Chains A and B, each alone.
Chain A
Amino acid sequence: MATIVYVLCALTSLACAVLLLRGYRQSGARLLLWSGLFFVGLFLNNVLLIVDLRVVPQVNLAVIRLVPALIGVVLLLYGMIWESER
């Protein structure tokens, strides 16, 4: 059950990343670049969660999992702070 949820989360993150990065390519609005990368980080976080729990349960990937999400959120905040005005 948990795995299905995490797969859904991963796919949703990926969809958001794709839509935002595509939007960045079309509109040139840099906020979309940073927020797209945020969702990439969230995607990786969810994938690593699945790997951690199902593929290598004997190894604890807790720290490694958090890193892409953290980088993603930092990039998102950077984008929101600097690229929110016209």
Chain B
Amino acid sequence: MRVTMVLFLGGMLAMGYLIAGVFFLRYWRRTRERLFASFAIALFILALQRVLLAANFAIIEDNTWYYGLRLLAFVLILWAIVDKNRADR
């Protein structure tokens, strides 16, 4: 029951991240702000991470792969913020 619930919620989350990523792509197209492209990719990576977790039926993320992906996503977000502030000078 627990694993099923985690997989289900994780699946919903993955879908949510995916759609949000698509919206960010739309904002990127409209505003040409690089920030949105970074956020979109970061969200797609987070979605991918959930997919990989489910594919391995793992629910603990204390594993190099998974936190590596999460790290990549957040580094992208951080980079987007830095880039935004540098570019606007």
Contacts and interface: CB of A to CB of B under 8 A. Distances in A.
Q: Is the interface of A mostly helix, strand, loop or mixed?
A: helix
A interface bracket (residues with beta carbon within 8 Å of B)? 20 to 34
Contacts of A73: 13, 16-17, 20
A42 to B, nearest CB: 9
Contacts of B61: 2, 49, 53
Contacts of B52: none
Contacts of B71: 5, 8-9
Q: Is the interface of B mostly helix, strand, loop or mixed?
A: helix
Nearest to A69: B13
Kindly name the residue among B2, B59, B74 whose own CB sees the greatest number of chain A CB atoms within 10 A.
Answer: B74
A63 B67 contact: no
A74 interface: yes
A66 interface: yes
Interface in B55-87: 59-62, 67-68, 70-71, 73-74, 77-78, 81
